[in-house]
């Protein structure tokens, strides 16, 4: 059998999944690459891989997209690694720089600014542009919260806005995947989550950031009904934004 090609996120949020995959037999059946989230999305969209831990905002761009695992990157409220960092309070943000690593959180920032905070903001992807605020995700945010006048945790703000948890990235395939493989894949992911203690031992301790709290509490990994509901709602808000900007 040809190996199934998989792109996973190269951040700490995915370490438990990687532990599970590399400590299971399934590692011999897959071709695993670690990428920044926007590249995971690009690889699934262009069919360079079969499955990706893909930013959910990119799902509409994947022909035959289907979620193949019971696990995801999610939170229920604050996640502590998906931020709008700002020099001004949110009701004064006029310009915001997006994060080139991100697909989901860039859109989440747009959704929250428009529908939750009701702010008219112009967005840029130019990393050299001076802006009132910017999106930053993943490990690059660890311990940075105190460096900015304002730090808005977007998991927390989504919960304030909708009362729902959130799903940032899901294991999405661009083709039918055999059920036997999905079962084995799920078991490997679960094995990794069950061994977060070992994962934590392998990670260097960080100043100003509680990795234990991050992997056990802030991040939530189950694809629950509420998280699916949140995904549907989030994608419908993105569609609404796209209509507005036409």
Ligand X SMILES: C=C(O[C@@H]1C=C(C(=O)O)C=C[C@H]1O)C(=O)O
Q: Smallest distance, Å, CB 236 to ligand X?
A: 18
49 DSSP 8-state letter: S
73 binds ligand X (CB under 6 A): yes
Q: Which is nearer to ligand X, 92 or 213 (CB)?
A: 213
Q: CA 8, CA 25: separation in Å to the nearest integer?
A: 17
Q: Which is nearer to ligand X, 176 or 212 (CB)?
A: 212
96 belongs to the binding site for ligand X (CB under 6 A): no
* Minimum distance of ligand X from residue 238's CB (angstroms): 12
Q: Which stretch binds ligand X (CB under 6 A): 8-16, 119-127, 226-234, 235-243?
A: 8-16
What are 86's two structure tokens? 């700002």
- Write out the E strands in 204-244: 220-222
d(CA 175, CA 65): 7
Query: SS3 of 67, please?
Result: strand
Give the pairing type, strands 95-97 and 122-124.
parallel
Judged by CB under 6 A, does residue 11 bind ligand X?
Answer: yes
Stretch that binds ligand X, among 96-104, 124-132, 177-185, 186-194 (CB under 6 A): 96-104
Contact set for ligand X, span 100-139 (CB under 6 A): 102-105, 137-138
Question: How far is residue 75's CA from residue 164's CA, in Å, rounded to a whole number?
Answer: 10
Give residues with Cβ within 8 angstroms of 21, minimum separation 6.
Answer: 6, 8, 27, 30, 32, 188, 189, 192
Which of the stretches 74-82, 89-97, 192-200, 205-213 binds ligand X when contact is defined by CB under 6 A? 74-82
9 forms part of the interface with ligand X (CB under 6 A): yes
User: Given the complex with ligand X, which of 29 and 48 has the nearer CB atom?
Assistant: 48
2-38: burial string, b at 16+ Cβ within 10 Å, e else: eebbbbbbbbbbbbbbbbbbeebebeeebebbebbbb
Residue 49 contacts ligand X per CB under 6 A: no
For ligand X, the closer of residues 129 and 139 by Cβ is 139
Which residues sit at the interface with ligand X, rule CB under 6 A? 9, 11, 13, 37, 55, 73, 79, 81-82, 102-105, 137-138, 168-169
């Amino acid at each position: 059998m040809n190996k199934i090609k998989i792109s996973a996120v190269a951040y700490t949020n995915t370490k438990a999944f990687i532990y599970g995959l590399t400590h299971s037999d399934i590692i011999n059946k897959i071709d695993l690459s670690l990428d920044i989230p926007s590249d995971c999305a690009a690889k699934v969209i262009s069919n360079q891989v079969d499955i990706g831990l893909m930013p959910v905002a990119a799902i509409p761009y994947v022909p035959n997209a289907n979620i193949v695992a019971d696990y995801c990157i999610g939170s229920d409220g604050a996640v502590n690694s998906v931020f709008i960092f700002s020099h001004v309070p949110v009701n004064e943000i006029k310009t915001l720089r997006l994060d080139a690593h991100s697909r989901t959180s860039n859109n989440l920032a747009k959704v929250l600014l428009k529908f939750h905070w009701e702010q008219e903001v112009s967005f840029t992807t130019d990393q050299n542009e001076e802006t009132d605020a910017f999106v930053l995700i993943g490990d690059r945010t660890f311990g940075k919260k105190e460096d900015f006048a304002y730090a808005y945790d977007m998991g927390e703000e989504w919960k304030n806005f909708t009362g729902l948890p959130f799903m940032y990235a899901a294991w999405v395939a661009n083709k039918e995947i055999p059920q036997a493989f999905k079962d084995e894949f799920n078991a490997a992911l679960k094995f990794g989550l069950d061994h977060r203690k070992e994962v934590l031992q392998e990670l260097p301790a960080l100043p100003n950031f509680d990795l234990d709290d991050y992997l056990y509490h802030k991040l939530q990994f189950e694809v629950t009904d509420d998280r699916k509901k949140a995904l549907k709602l989030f994608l419908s808000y993105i569609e609404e934004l796209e209509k507005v900007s036409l």
